[in-house]
Amino acid sequence: MTEKKAALLIGGNMGDREENLDTAIHLIHEKAGNIINLSSIYSTAAWGIEEQPDFLNQALLIQTDKEPLELLETLLEIETEMGRIREQKWGPRIIDIDILYIDDIVMDSERLKIPHPYLPERRFSLVPLVEISPQWVHPVTGKSTVQMLDECTDEGEVKEYTR
């Protein structure tokens, strides 16, 4: 199995948001791959369904030997272990772990789309991703993370969070 670099976005807006991020980071390191970089934590406005509490979000770069669908299953298991219940798309949640990209893999299956299809539209994903991986180039659009952020029309608030 070949090692791959994956960018993940973790976030949540229920319970102890800081502790939930810390727990997710610990479990990702334990079960999914070696964490090689972490962004700052950002307080972000809800996206999709806006009438809910703000999220805390953080981007991670990991080194993993898992294939994309195996990585997805591992991350879904972590969400379940942490108490995530999927009731409403884009609704409040304890934790959400999204795969933003894995190297330059392009995948479009029913279970998984890589790069994340909403990445160019989401300031809350792009701001932390630019912090840890500004040079990454979207394998479909050919745009860098910085370019995507410059062109992003999402006006949702994203501000650095201090503990």
Dump pLDDT digits (tens) for 68-122.
999 999 999 999 999 877 665 656 788 999 999 999 999 999 999 999 999 999 9
Q: Catalytic one among 22, 54, 65, 84?
A: 84
Q: What is the pLDDT of residues 122-131, one digit of tens each?
A: 999 999 999 9
CATH number for 98: 3.30.70.560
Task: Report the chain's mean pLDDT, rounded to a whole number.
Answer: 92
The one-letter amino acid code at 52 reads Q
pLDDT level of residue 156 (50, 70, 90 thresholds)? confident
Catalytic residue flag (residue 93): yes
Distant-in-sequence, close-in-space partners of 45: CB < 8 Å, separation ≥ 6: 54, 55, 124, 156, 157, 158
Which pLDDT belongs to residue 52? 79
Catalytic residue flag (residue 96): yes
Strand partners, 10: 58, 97
Which pLDDT belongs to residue 53? 85
Which pLDDT belongs to residue 86? 67
Q: Catalytic one among 98, 108, 111, 163?
A: 98
Please state the domain count of the chain. Answer: 1
Full-model pTM? 0.93
Q: Catalytic one among 96, 103, 122, 150?
A: 96
β-bridge pairing 55-64 and 42-44: antiparallel
Q: Which domain holds residue 70?
A: 4-160
pLDDT level of residue 47 (50, 70, 90 thresholds)? confident
When comparing pLDDT for 90 and 21, which is higher?
A: 21
Give the residue-averaged pLDDT of 12-36. 96
Catalytic residue flag (residue 98): yes
Q: What is residue 144's DSSP assignment?
A: B
Q: Catalytic one among 22, 65, 86, 93?
A: 93
- Percent of the chain past pLDDT 70, that is, above it, reads 94
